[in-house]
Structure 1
Amino acid sequence: MGNDDSCADFIERIVYFLDNELCATDIEAVQAHLDGCRPCLERYDVQRTIKALVARSCSESAPDTLRQRVMLSIREVEIEIHEA
């Protein structure tokens, strides 16, 4: 199990680990830490889930009906601003 002092550095590197932005040595160190530290592994799982949700959300497009409602709302606000 890790402790707060040894975990702080790994928590910071989890984001880089998820984005494949670490060198091989750092990847091994982070993986070894995650294998033995449940709190950090849980944080990693949360970060990985968030990253996957954001990626999925960014690849989906809004339905046309929603786009039309949003554009209509924007136009209504613009009209109200110009009339004020």
Structure 2
Amino acid sequence: MSEHHHESPSECVDYLERIVYFLDNELDEADCSAVQLHLDECGPCLEKYDLQRTVKAVVARSCSEAAPTELRRRVMVQIREVQVQITEG
């Protein structure tokens, strides 16, 4: 039986802060290993990691989608109207 110990809440906070960098591949190898080990042993942190990873994927996907032509046209009309109001104001 392997020895698993649960981190204190303050240690979890530290790992949760590093998860953002872990998701963006901005940690060095030692930190990545430490975060991965913590996630393997701490269910609540793993759930938060999975949630953040899902949100990041949804945002990335939605940022790559183009707006429908009609919506883009309406937005451009609104922008032009505001520019005219500012210029004339």
TM bracket (short chain): 0.7 to 0.9
The 1-side partners of 2:62 and 2:20 are apart by 19
Moved segments of 4+, more than 4 Å: none
Q: CA deviation at 1:78?
A: 2.6
Matched, 1:35 2:58: no
Q: What are the superposed Cα offsets for residues 9-56 of structure 1, whole Å, 9 maximum, x if unpaired?
A: 111110111111112221111011011111211111111111111111
Q: Are 1:58 and 2:63 an aligned pair? A: yes
Higher relative contact order (CA 8 A, sep 6+): 1
Identical aligned residues as a percent: 62
The one-letter amino acid paired with 1:73 is: Q
User: What is the aligned partner in structure 2 of residue 4 from structure 1?
Assistant: 9
Name the TM-score, length of structure 1 as normaliser: 0.85
Runs of 5+ unmatched residues, structure 1: none
The total of aligned residue pairs comes to 84
1:77 aligned partner: 82
Give me the TM-score of the superposition, normalised by structure 2.
0.81
RMSD over aligned Cα atoms: 1.5
Structure 1 position 2, deviation (Å): 2.7
Higher helix fraction (1 or 2): 1
